[in-house]
Amino acid sequence: MTRFAAPIAEQIWDMKYRLKEADGTPVDRSVEDTWRRIARALAETEAEPAAWEDRFYAALEDFRYLPAGRITAGAGTARSVTLFNCFVMGTVPDTMAGIFDMLKEAALTMQQGGGIGYDFSTIRPRGAPVAGVAADASGPLSFMDVWDAMCRTIMSAGSRRGAMMATMRCDHPDIEDFIGAKADSARLRMFNLSVLVTDAFMEAVKADGPWELTFGGKVFRTLPARDLWNRIMRATYDYAEPGVIFIDRINAANNLAYCETIAATNPCGEQPLPPYGACLLGSINLARLVADPFGTDASLDEDALDDLVATAVRMMDNVVDASRFPLPQQAEEAAAKRRIGLGVTGLADALLMVGLRYGSDAAAAQTEAWLRRIARAAYLASVDLAKEKGAFPLFDAEKYLASGTMRAMDEDVREAIRTHGIRNALLTSIAPTGTISLYAGNVSSGIEPVFAYAYTRKVLQKDGTRTEEEVVDYAVQMWRETRGDAPLPDHFVNAQVLSPQEHVKMQAAAQKWVDSSISKTINCPEDIGFEAFKDVYMQAYETGCKGCTTYRPNDVTGSVLSVSEADKPAETPVLVHEAEAGAEVVYMSEPLDRPQTLEGATYKLKWPDSEHAIYLTINDIVVGGRRRPFEVFINSKNMEHFAWTVALTRMISAVFRRGGDVSFVVEELKAVFDPRGGAWVKGRYIPSILAAIGGVIEQHLVAIGFLEGEGMGLKSDPQARVVGLDTPRGRPCPSCGQYDMHMSEGCMTCTSCGYSKCQ
């Protein structure tokens, strides 16, 4: 009997978390093997590993505790990867050498799979003088472009997709350029952007006062605070960025305010971190802890919750010692503070099971109570660890208890910390859980509402066809199992019907007992007025949130996945050429991720008068039900060919991964003329060896059905139109090609395959 609550859960496990050999042969024969692998790896740091291994396994069993994806995929594999989810890099020096040292550190971190955050406020503004070189500074945005290119390069080299956060203070002279950067759809695509908003700025906005833009003690410009606030709001209203981070509140609420200053966060914003700060993440699955779901005595099993939290804290503390780190500074920072980020998933499902409507006052109060219980259990568990293993090295009892959220902590917890110390400086955070929530049986993500009760997912088969599969929310499935066809109760609500104010209310309720921050999206209707939209951010500030991320579907950002009254999306539209309605082409907004295995073909090209043949391997991927080229490898023993074959391999592969009609590559290659003369091959004159390569690629595209025949490619990428929908559906998933993307937990997420830019 399978442990998976839904077919999609097993597919996510097999695709993302199951340990396999390099050739794809499974090492983890079952999900129980995966749990055992993780439990054994995290117990190895214990004095009695065998005893703790079984307890760790019990916590993982049936998806009750969900370590973040990097831990689940990497623990116990002996791979050179970090188990930490996110990093904030060192402070960027305002020198050319220092900036590029930071770029190198970022590349090394991303190569191991870490998402990174940077504060670019430390770089002098555009036009400021540069001493000694008689030149003006190019400004932080120009260097962000360099970071963006680096991230794309790391991705194209086959690494995990990159995720970066860039922050800038609201008083930096280039803040207006930063706010408007994403208006250019081709710029800074690897970054999430957030403005560091201070309390002084918010007071100036409310008072309609002036605001100075300064750097290095010099005032560059003064403008009305409301004008700058309106520019921030208009940008995020139009294209969902930048986000807003209330940075003074973050520093005031930091337990480590006595020894660090925070100026940046990880890519999804739930982890504000100091320079070289690192954090690992994990989530308690509240949906698995509800006793008598939908019954008259339905409630969360709080004793089970306390026990599970204690075990999870111990497991996460062990990750600090078990993980590798890309940089020694990150290892030192993690060891000095032993920061962890324990959060929740399945909150909305748990609320439904106990009879509460997400967004109601009662649900907000229950959320606050559950998160308070988790915080208490986590802090007391960390105190017990301190008794056994020692407090974190930078612990100072009086300074710690006078800092941040500790000032509001229950007195018995404060006294325990004063007496025994605490192992982990910060313990709670609510991270994006889109993929692990699917893996756990499609429980609701993080503290987000249920997105849809059910939807139809198109599943790619090995022969390139797609079958349809219903994906049902975990709570809805439980209702069906216990109540049959009885209609859902009135308190069942999903993201489609909630107001922005209800979203903010839930975020604020959870934030009270989360010592780091929360990754959450405030979904706004497309027709919300601009003034009402601004009120959402002011509500978030006034109710104690540490940041705010909204999403309003429109022509720029794309539409959120829409669901019918039965919560099933409409049929996926087909993108076709205006010029040739018989050819089906899928367009990507970002490069495709490379699957573990690809099917393809290898061709031998023998050029006359050349001693060595050229071999072309073309691998394909299936997107939108159609097979299309994904990458090319061109090899030859002739070393004279080495440089240009490598360059051609990289360039053609990069074009293929962008999607669209890539047949223009064939036509351009076939048109290359070699002034030294071509050659006759099989009765046909070929003007150059590059033209011959183009012919081989064309042969392959015809064979897989991408082109209808020889010579039928286009010389330029065609315009496309959407067929089958009266309204735009937004962008397709860059991983599976389906139009099932929606904004959740601050990041665009695909409900069909679990893809998320931020995970």
CA 669 to chain centre: 37
Alpha helices by DSSP H, 129-198? 140-156, 175-179
Tell me whether residue 599 is one of the annotated catalytic residues.
no
Contact 66, 436 (CB under 8 A): yes
Q: How far apart are the first and last CA of the chain?
A: 30
Alpha helices by DSSP H, 628-752? 642-656, 664-670, 689-703
What span, in angstroms and rounded, lies between the C-alpha atoms of 585 and 723? 12
Tokens linked to 285: 């699955």
What span, in angstroms and rounded, lies between the C-alpha atoms of 294 and 345? 19
Tokens linked to 670: 């076939």
Sign, CA dihedral 417-422-424-425, equals positive
3-state secondary structure (DSSP) of residue 270: coil
CB pairs under 8 A, 24+ apart, for 672-681?
679/607, 679/608, 679/609, 680/608, 681/607, 681/608
- Which residue is it, tokens 């370590």? 67
Catalytic residue among 105, 241, 260, 270: 270
Q: Is 207 exposed, middle or buried (0-12, 13-18, 19+ CB in 10 A)?
A: exposed
For 239: left if phi > 0, alpha if psi spans -120 to 50, otherwise beta; the answer is alpha
Contact 198, 168 (CB under 8 A): no
Q: Name the strand (E) or helix (H) holding 226.
A: helix 225-239
Catalytic residue among 86, 151, 170, 268: 268
Q: Characterize the bridge pairing of strands 135-136 and 164-169.
A: unpaired
What span, in angstroms and rounded, lies between the C-alpha atoms of 198 and 213? 13
Q: Characterize the bridge pairing of strands 191-197 and 243-246.
A: parallel
Catalytic residue among 85, 251, 266, 318: 266
Contacts of 51 (CB under 8 A, 6+ apart): none
Strand order, beta sheet including 599-605: 599-605, 614-623, 626-636
Tell me whether residue 590 is one of the annotated catalytic residues.
no
Residue type at 257 in one-letter notation:
A
Tell me whether residue 270 is one of the annotated catalytic residues.
yes
Residue 561 phi/psi, 5-degree rounding, is -50, 120
What span, in angstroms and rounded, lies between the C-alpha atoms of 544 and 511? 7
Tokens linked to 129: 């003088």
What span, in angstroms and rounded, lies between the C-alpha atoms of 351 and 357? 7
Contacts of 48 (CB under 8 A, 6+ apart): none
Contacts of 324 (CB under 8 A, 6+ apart): 80, 81, 82, 83, 112
Contact 449, 564 (CB under 8 A): no
Report DSSP state, residue 287: G
Q: Which residues pair with 679 in a beta bridge?
A: 686
Q: Is the peptide bond before 595 cis (omega within 30 degrees of 0)?
A: no
Q: Characterize the bridge pairing of strands 135-136 and 129-130.
A: antiparallel
What span, in angstroms and rounded, lies between the C-alpha atoms of 395 and 404? 14
What span, in angstroms and rounded, lies between the C-alpha atoms of 191 and 447? 24
For 489: left if phi > 0, alpha if psi spans -120 to 50, otherwise beta; the answer is beta
CB pairs under 8 A, 24+ apart, for 486-490?
488/453, 489/355, 490/357
Contact 730, 706 (CB under 8 A): no
The residues annotated with a catalytic role in the active site are 266, 268, 270
